[in-house]
Amino acid sequence: MSPTPISPPLAGAATLTPSILPVQVIGACPHDCPDTCSLLTTVENGVATRVQGNPGHPQTGGVLCNKVSRYTERTYHAERLLQPLRRTGPKGSGRFEPVSWHTALGEIAARLKDIAARNPEAIVPYSYCGTMGQVQGEAMAGRFFNRLGASLLDRTICAAAGAEGLNQTLGGKVGMRVEFFAESRLIIIWGSNSIGSNLHFWRYAQLAKRNGAKLICIDPRRSETAEKCHEHIALLPGTDAALALALMHELATHDWLDHDYISRHTLGWPALRERALQWSPERAAAVCGVPAEQIRSLARDYGQCFTDRQPAAIRLNYGMQRVRGGGNATRAVACLPALTGAWRHRAGGLLMSSSSFFPLDKPALQRPDLLAGRTPRTVNMSTLGNDLLRESSPDFGPRIEALIVYNSNPVAVAPESSKVVRGFARDDLFTVVLEQFQTDTADMADFILPATTQLEHWDIHATYGHTDALLNRPAIAPLGQCRPNTQIFRNLAARMGFTEPCFQEDDETLCRAAFGDAVDFQILLDQGFATLALAEAPFADGGFPTPSGHCEFFSERLAAQGLDGLPDHVPNYETPGSSAEFPLAMISPPARSFMNSTFVNVKTLRSMEGEPTLEIHPLDAAARGIATGSIVRVYNHRGDYQVKAEVSLRARPGVVNGLGIWWRKLGLGGTNVNQLTSQHLTDLGRGPVFYDCLVEVQAA
């Protein structure tokens, strides 16, 4: 029996009637990945039997990653949470009893009312991108917390430094359209393991490669992507700005510059030129730990594209901004395409994130008007460990008394986990976790509320790696007693006595509100995706969304804050080579089969990863008597982590790669890599510095 090609009209999850014949429902992949694929779910007798990439969506091209092609395994996992749970054992024991929704919601509302009566800011929401959906993300949740007057959350944990760097330089999260990378002559993949984390971009890069393009990867790790590029520049973590400044040095001294583009569409070149001239390839080479000739050769390749009028493209990704100077590094790299006028060509320029292209109506979804003039304090999600342990103070505001976690697993993913765990273990902290699985964070809850997955609810998606909006229809009815996040916040709102009509809106109405009239909702209903109307080469003739309309090499806005108006190299907090006690730098990029900490509990994917792994260069391994397969202790002043060593040329000398992000309870010694990372913040954007971390490794 072959499935019918297109989804039947569905009015909403509640009306799903199992059909005997297989049907295919069009949805959207919810995960925190630039690709946001269009999904086709085959449903037989009300059961999802297969999840495929939608061949009708060009960006997906019928192809899914390893993880999501196993989506039914995750959805019907024997350990899905299917009913509300209330803690019975001590905090963190992981012992719970089932309770009814009525009891759970009643007790939670009573506790929140009690805290709110004293100070609603003692209640803190904690969420990130477990789903990228706008509706199951912050739509109903935002309304709930705004109406309550709870603390606001600064959602910095992934991309804050890069976003601020782009914002200051280009004016927002804007860049090249990803499909045109297929026509580039030179592709620089900078701080990205695209094969693992951006597979659908890699398809375009492959097309370009087949047409003769040169691919260069800039990454401390010899990743799956680096080994398939023509060249790999294995710089030390946190030295990207030095490299970019040396490239500018070479562009300036060889006059590989598009003077017309610079004069018409940029701001501050004379000052930036002065700074770049201080960064000879030799100086940068010493900082970056790579040969000066490699830097010269990269500059020649980039300059050659300028002289030959061939498109050069940079795929910058967030891997390079998880260090102290991440914001400045992003600024420095983002200046390059304007210097050579690469933006003139649709296959030239730079792409880090495309999200600002989406005309999202966040106020319509999240309703900041419900704050009714209040301005609650903001808590930074990247310093959760410290903040959970803080007392009330004029500076901080009230001690955190309640934490409502959804779409995130902070005990595993937030830095300096020993403090995060200590905070969550506080007996006087009231914690509610909305989850699909009993994660490390759910273990620390007072109440766990079972949430639906993407196959079970409506949602609508913008993306950060292409320029199509996607709609997700539910394919199956909610499992067990699971409810969508929206429904849980609607229920809580009712129990709190919030009577505003906006708490009645259903999910399909929220989906319609996300883009308002800016995207044709009927097209989304019909085909599952809608491409934004955008120029092919958005900055061919300038028009950057900065205050000046130019690419701002010099940022007046930063200067007005007393910061450096020009990009510079800002060394790491924990500079490689600066400590005899902790002589190795550790980065912790994603393991390919996991999505942050999601999928770690899916058996087939976990077995592909084996055990938590630390890649270490043969020289560093030999100096410590470490062999592949041995269990080693990785440590610094913040903690200890046990992993299986892999002596490998994927690691460069002096840098170890602790692949992330394991669930602590599924790892080796009950901790994960974030036991070692710090709560320092980036130069711009107040983001975390996961890859700015010194350690020592010892054979166990």
Report the interface residues with Mo ion, using CB under 5 A. 158
Stretch that binds ligand MGD, among 19-27, 111-119, 214-222, 307-315 (CB under 6 A): 214-222
Stretch that binds ligand MGD, among 492-500, 541-549, 594-602, 633-641 (CB under 6 A): 594-602
- ∠ CA 611-615-621, nearest 5°, is 120
State how far the Cα of 567 lies from the Cα of 581, in Å rounded to an integer: 32
Q: Which of 143, 155, 221, 550 binds ligand MGD (CB under 6 A)?
A: 221
Considering the complex, state which of residue 158 and residue 329 has its C-beta at the smaller distance from Mo ion: 158
Q: Is 587 in the site for ligand MGD (CB under 6 A)?
A: yes
Q: Is 355 in the site for ligand MGD (CB under 6 A)?
A: no
Stretch that binds ligand MGD, among 140-148, 151-159, 176-184, 254-262 (CB under 6 A): 151-159
Q: With CB cut-offs between 5 and 8 Å by kind, which of Mo ion, ligand MGD, none does residue 408 bind?
A: ligand MGD
Considering the complex, state which of residue 328 and residue 596 has its C-beta at the smaller distance from Mo ion: 596
> Which tokens sit at 478?
């909610």
Q: Is 146 in the site for ligand MGD (CB under 6 A)?
A: no
Q: With CB cut-offs between 5 and 8 Å by kind, which of Mo ion, ligand MGD, none does residue 424 bind?
A: none
Q: Is 39 in the site for ligand MGD (CB under 6 A)?
A: no
Sign of CA dihedral 286, 290, 293, 299: negative
Q: With CB cut-offs between 5 and 8 Å by kind, which of Mo ion, ligand MGD, none does residue 485 bind?
A: ligand MGD
State how far the Cα of 226 lies from the Cα of 193, in Å rounded to an integer: 7
State how far the Cα of 309 lies from the Cα of 200, in Å rounded to an integer: 27
Q: Give the shortest CB-413-to-Mo ion separation in angstroms.
A: 9
Q: Which of 294, 439, 678, 679 binds ligand MGD (CB under 6 A)?
A: 439
C-alpha distances in Å from residue 139, one per residue of 196, 460, 485, 662? 30, 11, 9, 29
- DSSP code string of 154-201: E--TTTHHHHHHHHHHTSSS----GGGGGG-SEEEEES--HHHH-HHH
Q: Is 136 in the site for ligand MGD (CB under 6 A)?
A: yes
Q: Is 330 in the site for ligand MGD (CB under 6 A)?
A: no
State how far the Cα of 337 lies from the Cα of 313, in Å rounded to an integer: 8
Q: Are 237 and 655 in contact (CB under 8 A)?
A: yes
Considering the complex, state which of residue 546 and residue 679 has its C-beta at the smaller distance from ligand MGD: 679
Q: Are 333 and 316 in contact (CB under 8 A)?
A: yes
- DSSP code string of 664-695: GGGSSSS--GGGT----B-TTTT-B-TT--EE
The span from the first CA to the last CA of the chain, in angstroms, equals 56
> Which tokens sit at 211?
């047409």
Q: Is 576 in the site for ligand MGD (CB under 6 A)?
A: no
Q: Is 401 in the site for ligand MGD (CB under 6 A)?
A: no
Q: Is 431 in the site for ligand MGD (CB under 6 A)?
A: no
Q: Is 440 in the site for ligand MGD (CB under 6 A)?
A: no
Q: Is 592 in the site for ligand MGD (CB under 6 A)?
A: yes
Sheet with strand 123-127: strands edge to edge: 96-98, 85-87, 447-450, 430-435, 402-406, 123-127
> Which tokens sit at 78?
């024997």
Q: Give the shortest CB-218-to-ligand MGD separation in angstroms.
A: 5
State how far the Cα of 47 lies from the Cα of 66, in Å rounded to an integer: 21
State how far the Cα of 528 lies from the Cα of 360, in Å rounded to an integer: 17
Judged by CB under 6 A, the chain residues 471 through 490 that form the site for ligand MGD are 485
Q: Is 123 in the site for ligand MGD (CB under 6 A)?
A: no
Beta strands in 9-105 (DSSP E): 23-28, 38-44, 47-53, 85-87, 96-98
Considering the complex, state which of residue 543 and residue 639 has its C-beta at the smaller distance from ligand MGD: 639
Q: Is 659 in the site for ligand MGD (CB under 6 A)?
A: no
**DSSP state, residue 590:** B
State how far the Cα of 301 lies from the Cα of 296, in Å rounded to an integer: 9
State how far the Cα of 217 lies from the Cα of 317, in Å rounded to an integer: 11
Number of residues binding to ligand MGD, judged by CB under 6 A: 59
> Which tokens sit at 662?
């394991």
State how far the Cα of 258 lies from the Cα of 277, in Å rounded to an integer: 17
Q: Which of 660, 667, 685, 687 binds ligand MGD (CB under 6 A)?
A: 660
Q: Is 24 in the site for ligand MGD (CB under 6 A)?
A: no
Q: Is 57 in the site for ligand MGD (CB under 6 A)?
A: no
> Which tokens sit at 115?
């805290």
Q: Is 595 in the site for ligand MGD (CB under 6 A)?
A: yes
Q: Are 549 and 556 in contact (CB under 8 A)?
A: no
Considering the complex, state which of residue 158 and residue 299 has its C-beta at the smaller distance from Mo ion: 158
Q: With CB cut-offs between 5 and 8 Å by kind, which of ligand MGD, Mo ion, none does residue 587 bind?
A: ligand MGD
Considering the complex, state which of residue 491 and residue 679 has its C-beta at the smaller distance from Mo ion: 679
Element (H, E) at 595: none
Q: Is 261 in the site for ligand MGD (CB under 6 A)?
A: no
Q: Is 294 in the site for ligand MGD (CB under 6 A)?
A: no
Q: With CB cut-offs between 5 and 8 Å by kind, which of ligand MGD, Mo ion, none does residue 646 bind?
A: none
Q: Is 434 in the site for ligand MGD (CB under 6 A)?
A: yes
Q: Can you name the residues that pair with 528 across neighbouring β-strands? A: none
Considering the complex, state which of residue 320 and residue 370 has its C-beta at the smaller distance from Mo ion: 320
List contacts with ligand MGD (CB under 6 A): 32-33, 128-131, 136, 157-159, 190-193, 196-197, 218-221, 223, 237-238, 240, 317-320, 323, 406-409, 412-413, 434-437, 439, 451, 485, 587-590, 592, 594-598, 660-661, 673-674, 677, 690-691
